[in-house]
Structure 1
Amino acid sequence: MTDSEDREQQAAVTRRLLYYLNSPIAPYCRLRGVLPAPGAVRIAVRAGDDENARDFLYEIPNDTVTPYYIPGLLRTVLTGPQIYSSSDLGEVRGMTLIRLRPQEITPDPEPEQGRALTVVHALCDPGDDENPFLLGFLILGGGLLRLYVQRPDRPGVIGADIRLNNTRTALIASLPSLLEEEQYQRPASDDPHCDLLVDLTDW
């Protein structure tokens, strides 16, 4: 990766992990920071909630995983036994440094709330004028998410149901045109928060 690509990856990982400032990244493990390193990103984690808590710094090479997979990678590392060679260990700023080899680790799947967060963040991106304006959302359970959107060319609120295990990038990119297709629309008789419902669960 070039220096510019490294910086873009670093910024993307930082944005991806902001959510974990408010909730544990794994049981009894809290995010303390995201630090730049040459060709890598380092993620500071405090393990434990008492006076025996320890700080770890996990180094992940920038060219091995996308930012989306990093929370799952960290959950795997933090919740299961791992074996590291002495060459993978060090110390930085009083934290134990662990150099991860992501190609040898299978990331835990993203929980439902994390998948919903990814979709909502993508639709809230102020730099993308093509997406419908997101007014709200509701996790319905069973892997379903209802998005409440307003198309700029039409009054009223549309509730769009999607499956969280769908390919989010493709679905989000297609969402504005899918909302225009009448074959997906029906009156929102059971939801007072929208005028129309669009079922995209099979898309």
Structure 2
Amino acid sequence: MPELDQRVTMWDETTEQQATLTGLLFHHALAPVAGDRYLRGVLPAPPPAHAIRLATGPPVASQAPDLTLYEFPLTTGGEPVTADHVTGVLRTLLTGPHVDPQESLSAELPHVPVIRVDLAAVEPTPEPVEERALTIMRTLVHPYTGEFPDPLMVGFLLPTPDLLRLYLAADDIDGIVAVDVRPSGAVTALTAALPSLVTETERMRKDDVDPHCTWAMDLTDW
């Protein structure tokens, strides 16, 4: 069993902002953001960064070189960044011409470029009418209540067609838990059991490879 810090650890404002943006952005995994580039993941930036990372790539990204990570700050001008602003800037970055942000390579993910975005230097591309229509419907179906579920999904990654990595923050667990599941599996049963499964420390292992989580849990055969 991993030696977990058993302090009751409520998630902070950064985690809540990451979760809010994840909930507003994940549908871009099913439709291209720009051209043939899809959103393959939304990742919580490693602390202490107050940021979120968007992984873009082709419809099916099976290898790390297929992906590019864009790191966005969670605030701009002292205010929380909006999902519309993030996707607008991402469209500009993916289509160009644009101001090239500073690019660096993550030591933990040596084959995936991480581009840190300066929001003040890039003008967002307006969202398509279809996107605005989706925003209206989504707001009616899932109105914002200000209440966060437990566990809290702060990110996801679709590395292959039948593998989904969920990044979850759970009360009583110190750090982010990355949970690997298969969409082809028993989805209804899994989603019902997940709030309980994510707290079972005997299923966890320390993850020293993925910089976006502390713990990993394999539920691909659950």
TM-score where L is the length of structure 2: 0.50
Matched residue type, 1:108:
T
**Superposition pairs of residues 22-61 of structure 1, within 5 angstroms:** 22-37=30-45, 38-47=49-58, 54-61=66-73
Aligned in 2, Cα 1:126/1:51: closer, same or farther, shift over 3 Å? closer
Count how many residue pairs are aligned between Structure 1 and Structure 2.
125
The answer as to 2:28 corresponding to 1:20 is yes
Aligned to 2:142: 125
Q: Indicate the percent of aligned positions where both proteins have the same amino acid.
A: 37
Structure richer in helix, relative to its length: 1
Distance 2:99 2:120 in 1: 14
Query: Are 1:28 and 1:49, in contact at CA under 8 Å, matched by a contact in 2?
Result: no
Q: 2:100 aligns with which of 84, 87, 107?
A: 84
The answer as to 2:85 corresponding to 1:69 is yes
Aligned in 2, Cα 1:48/1:81: closer, same or farther, shift over 3 Å? farther
The answer as to 2:119 corresponding to 1:106 is no
TM-score where L is the length of structure 1: 0.54
Structure richer in strand, relative to its length: 1
Aligned to 1:96: 113
**Could you say which structure has the larger radius of gyration?**
1
Matched residue type, 1:81:
P
How much does 1:45 deviate?
0.5
How much does 1:57 deviate?
0.2
Matched residue type, 1:63:
T
How much does 1:49 deviate?
7.6
- Other structure's SS at 2:42 match: strand
